[in-house]
C-alpha cells in the first residue's frame, strides 16, 4: 500500500510528464470558473493543467491526480475544444464528487487488500501438491505455482466482476449527484451526451452485458437520474 501511495504522490510531477505534455491552463475565464468551483467545494489544487490528449486519441476527459500538495487538475485538450465552459465545469464537478465521497481512497484500499489476499492465497497454494496436479502441472516449483496462479486468477475475477461493476456504478451516481448539487444537472447532461458521441459509446447497451461488465451506468439511466436531481426553477451557475 505504501508503494501505491508513493506512486500517486509522484505521478503528476515526475511520471505523467514522461508520456504527455502538460501546460498551465491559459484561458482566464475558465481559470476563474474552475477556481470558484474549487472554493465552493473546498478542494485545494496545486495548479490547473491542460494535457495534449489529442496526440494519442480524440477522447476527452478531465481528472485530478496526486496527493497532498501535489494534487492538480488536468483537462484533456480535446475536452476543452469540444465542451462549453459550463460543461467543462460540470465534468470537473463530477470528478471532484469522486474525491469528496472518498471513492479513490476506497479503491486504493480495496486494491491493496486484494493484492495482499492474493499473495496470501498464493503462499498457501504453493505448498499443496493438489494445486499442481489439479491443473496438470508436474513441476512443483514456485515459478510453476506463480504461472498457474496467474492463469487461474482471471477466472475468479470473472465472477467477482459484477460486484465491482455494481459498486462502481453506485459511485458514478454519487458523483453525478455531487455535480448536480454544485453546478446543476443541465450542463453535465449535455456534456455527457457530447462525450458519449465523441467516444463512440453506445447510448443503449445490452442490459445484461452492461450490468455484468460496465463500470458506468447506461447513458439513459444516468441522464434520467440527473434529470430527477434538477432543481425546479433553479438558476444554473
Show which residues are catalytic: 95, 176
User: In degrees rounded to 5, what are phi and psi of residue 159?
Assistant: -80, -25
d(CA 87, CA 178): 15
Only one residue has cell 451516481, namely 173
User: In degrees rounded to 5, what are phi and psi of residue 210?
Assistant: -60, -45
Alpha-carbon Rg for the chain, nearest whole angstrom, is 21
Q: In degrees to the nearest 10, what's the CA dihedral of 104, 109, 110, 111?
A: 90
Interior angle at CA 7, CA 168 and CA 22, nearest 5: 90
End-to-end CA distance of the chain: 40
Judge whether 44 and 71 are in contact, CB under 8 Å: yes
DSSP conformation class of 46: S
d(CA 24, CA 14): 16
DSSP conformation class of 27: -
Interior angle at CA 203, CA 99 and CA 111, nearest 5: 35
Amino acid at each position: 500500500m505504501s508503494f501505491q501511495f508513493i506512486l500517486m504522490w509522484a505521478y503528476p510531477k515526475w511520471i505523467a510528464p514522461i508520456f504527455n505534455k502538460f501546460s498551465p491552463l491559459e484561458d482566464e475565464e475558465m481559470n476563474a470558473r474552475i477556481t470558484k468551483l474549487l472554493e465552493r467545494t473546498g478542494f485545494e489544487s496545486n495548479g490547473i493543467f491542460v494535457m495534449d490528449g489529442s496526440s494519442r486519441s480524440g477522447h476527452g476527459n478531465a481528472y485530478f491526480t496526486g496527493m497532498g500538495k501535489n494534487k492538480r487538475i488536468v483537462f484533456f485538450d480535446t475536452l476543452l475544444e469540444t465542451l462549453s465552459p459550463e460543461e467543462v465545469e460540470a465534468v470537473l464537478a463530477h470528478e471532484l464528487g469522486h474525491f469528496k465521497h472518498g471513492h479513490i481512497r476506497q479503491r486504493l484500499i480495496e486494491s491493496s487488500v486484494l493484492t495482499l489476499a492474493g499473495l496470501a492465497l498464493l503462499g498457501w497454494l504453493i505448498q499443496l501438491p493438489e494445486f499442481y496436479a489439479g491443473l496438470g502441472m508436474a513441476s512443483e516449483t514456485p515459478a510453476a505455482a506463480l504461472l498457474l496462479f496467474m492463469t487461474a486468477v482471471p477466472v475468479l475475477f470473472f465472477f467477482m466482476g459484477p460486484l465491482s461493476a455494481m459498486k462502481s456504478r453506485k459511485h458514478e451516481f454519487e458523483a453525478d449527484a455531487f455535480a448536480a448539487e454544485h453546478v446543476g444537472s443541465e450542463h453535465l447532461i449535455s456534456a455527457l451526451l457530447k462525450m458519449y458521441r465523441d467516444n463512440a459509446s453506445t447510448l443503449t447497451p445490452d442490459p445484461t452485458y452492461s450490468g455484468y461488465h460496465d463500470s458506468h451506468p447506461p447513458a439513459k439511466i444516468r441522464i434520467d437520474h440527473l434529470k430527477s436531481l434538477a432543481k425546479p426553477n433553479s438558476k444554473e451557475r
